[in-house]
Structure 1
Amino acid sequence: MKTVQLKREVNSGFKFITEKQTLKSPLVLVFGSRYLLEDESVYQEIKNYFPDGHIVFGSTSGNITSESVDDESIVVTAIEFENSSFIIKTTNVLNDNQESLNSTEVGKELIKQLPAQNLKHVFIISDGSFINGSQLAIGMNSASDQKLIVTGALCGDAARFEKTLSSYNEAPKEGEIIAIGLYGDTLEISFATHGGWTPFGPERLVTKSDANILYEIDGQPALNLYKKYLGEKSKELPGAALLYPLNVKSKDDDKSIVRTILNINEEDNSMILAGDILEGSQVQLMMTNVDSIVNAAEIGAERALSERKKAPELALLVSCIGRKLVLDQRVEEEVEEVMEVIGNKTLVSGFYSYGEIAPFEDETNCQLHNQTMAITLISE
């Protein structure tokens, strides 16, 4: 595997942050600020660097490299696979009327586009505005009978939640979902997720919900109850909700999952979550601190590395925007902890997202996570 990485900041051109070298038909991952990706010249500029490259764009809530975490930048990571291969397929969750299509069917049909023979892993870069991430994951699992490992992320837009952009071999646009299928027996790919958030307060019952909209908890309007717990911080909603997600445990599953509250509806006292929440689920508020988040990143890296035969050459890190808001000025510490574990010879690329896609430990079916650090380690 050969890799090259470039970075462009506001009012500057692209600069190599690794040694410059020529790559043959590379996979080119472009993660960047939505505002910078809206520049119509960006696609052609990157195409000039990699004329035969397969260029995948994704807007972010912050870019991750081994050097730094940047808000207003574009990071380009180009990968030449020497002994393996990749195939890229796309779909769009928006139809011509700009209305969202069924996210489950979108996920199922996207994975079915990828040839199944020798398919080792799929990495997803998804729209983060219109897609229902939970249903996307269900659809992708159903396409492979839950036997295919899928990791990836929903794109971000800082903490604005206005729109996200993504694309393959064209200028970034809304609604696009990209599946990168990785093929070959020489590939070694491992993954892990870990959060570091702690539930507090009583467990309560979800008594009314619809997909990712939470209407009632214990028979009471969900937003009213949430505001009661937040106290003075409720004046800072919906932004404050990123700091107090929900721990959700379904009656049909023995594992809990974290759900971020993306927005609120004062008219019907409901909350819009980043993923589905089923009626009958048990929910608790969650909280964390900087040290817990940083320690969780270290634990995740150790899990991802634990059973590998070869040192990773590439680390794709996806962390949640909510973690970034908690970490604030210490945001680079969680990346530093991962690098301490995996070693400084591994090229690091990634971003802060609106949702992380990965299976639970010891499982194969992927899930939509919030408030986690999802780590994918790749080598040939």
Structure 2
Amino acid sequence: MKVLATLVLSLPLVFAAQAPVFVPPGPGPTEQSDNYVGKSNGSLPVEFPVPGRVFNRFIQIWLENTNFAVANSSAVFQTLAQQGITMTNYFALTHPSEPNYVAAVGGDFFGMADDNLYMIPSNISTIVDLLEERRISWASYQESMPTDGFTGFSFASENYLNTSAAPLTLYWRKHNPLIIYNSVADIPSRAARHRNFNDFAVDINHHALPQWMFVTPNIENDAHDTNVDFAGQFLQYWLFPLLKDVRFNGPDTLILLTFDENGSSSINNNIFSLLLGNAVPKELRGTTDSTYFTHYSSLSTVQNNWGLGSLGRGDTNKTLANVFSMVAERTGYRNLKVVDIPLTNISGKTPGPLNSNISLQTPFPPPNIHAKGAGGGPVFVARNFNLSHFGLHH
């Protein structure tokens, strides 16, 4: 025993990596913080809201890489679930992260199978084109992004979680979907609507939050480099007070809290997704909905609510793009009952121009100009998209 003790004591000490501890990035979601790079340079203009059929503001907040059961067992998410509708059959579209983000605003991930730097050509349309046609205001709020319209791949800033440590890469382009599309990034007025959380604080205090919002916490607060409990602490800091703030959560606000994908490619891509906000009827709060939805459903639901056109892509796929039930029931839209849920956990097998495993020469496919979207409007085709190249005419 003495020999064993001597051997143990002579071994070098090995310390396990310490998981980061949540630190509030600022005094609160409606105040600017020095932990974010750069102060806001002013608010968005206050714009007259365009009435929707069920809601007048749609906010989606994306978190990262968590299985449904894990999020559903979290005390914070259980608390939130009592205030909204838990969609138990909501599925991501593929792995890894970036293609899910890209698909949720453009209706397709074009075969993308990694998190690399992409710049989708300017003739590929997004939800922005549909919103702007109806003069519906929009913005993207990205925590820890350094400047408005930043197009860089990532950005490292002071590590406010551990001020004695080296700078930490907190912002990643792959979680900022609209900036990946050149039809947004290359137009200054659109790029300027990609804002950080200091901008958010200014916009809410000026009553200038837009009607459509995409919100991405930084890489720590969204659970990507941490876990669902860490993300839960962030939600307690950021979302909980905003749910009580009429400037954010007005009487006709619908909030989608979701994850980009689950944490395991060995099972189908079921993710925890929750509808919150004062647009959710009181009798539906604390309930569940087993209808099959995917990330395309956020597109079809927005289209259905405002009577928009469509992108003629996954947003018009009747199987993958059911409209959120609380909206469909109010508008009379008929969802498809999906019995055999498709497998969407497979990565790298979908052909497309962004799948380097198959072909880099594959052209970006045209939108289906004959598709019927949930909003009832026509398919949007960018003026610089040459349909005749594919033998088509609008």
Higher relative contact order (CA 8 A, sep 6+): 2
TM normalised by structure 2 equals 0.28
| Higher strand residue share | 1
